[in-house]
Amino acid sequence: MKKKYLLSDHKKREPVTRISMSLPTRLLVEFDKSMLKSGYTDRSKALQTAIHSFVNDYDWNTGEKEFGAGAIIIVYDNHVYNQDEKSIQVQHEYQDVIGATTHLHLQGDNCLETIMVRGEIRKIKELTKYLSENRGIKSLKLHFVTTF
């Protein structure tokens, strides 16, 4: 007879530590509203996600970690940015941290590009800075996560 495996059978659970915390009532009410609107039904899981985000921001801003991953999301005017030449040049110069790119045509001359990155945080910051200096970029955001 073939044994059926559940996903949890293959993945070991990390030990957890139970904590207690004090929060102002208003903050907890707002957190619970945001948690439910975001699709979370478990307060512990929502707090874990928020704490991960806090740690990621700290790591990104302080340089505590050397390596990470993320996505650079850019909205630009294709006629001003001259995307074809500049994007290809940048991708070749930073191919050690760029894993993939996607391009989406929006309305008018606007385009959305997502550049998925992984590797040295220093290089990812350098790439993000280089991209942000180009004319025609209307919005540039980096969503960064440490790989722990």
Q: Give the span between the Cα atoms of 83 and 89, in whole angstroms.
A: 10
What does the pLDDT profile of the chain (148 residues) look like in tens digits?
554 545 555 567 788 899 999 999 999 999 999 999 999 999 999 999 999 888 888 888 887 788 889 999 999 888 776 655 666 788 789 999 999 999 999 998 899 999 999 999 999 999 999 888 887 889 999 998 876 5
User: What are the structure tokens assigned to 35, written together?
Assistant: 């948690």
For residue 31, the model assigns a pLDDT of 95
- Vertex 127 angle, CA 105 and 90, to 5°: 60
The reply to whether the predicted model has a pTM over 0.85 is no
- 79: enclosing H helix or E strand: helix 78-81
- Vertex 54 angle, CA 52 and 58, to 5°: 115
Q: Give the span between the Cα atoms of 103 and 113, in whole angstroms.
A: 5
Fold of 67-146: Alpha-Beta Plaits (3.30.70)
For residue 82, the model assigns a pLDDT of 63
Domain boundaries, the chain: 25-62, 67-146
Q: Give the span between the Cα atoms of 40 and 35, in whole angstroms.
A: 5
Q: Give the span between the Cα atoms of 14 and 74, in whole angstroms.
A: 36
> What is the residue type of 75?
V
For residue 83, the model assigns a pLDDT of 58
Chain length of the chain: 148
Using alpha carbons, list the distances in angstroms from residue 123 to 46, 87, 126: 31, 16, 5
> What is the residue type of 70?
G
For residue 81, the model assigns a pLDDT of 63
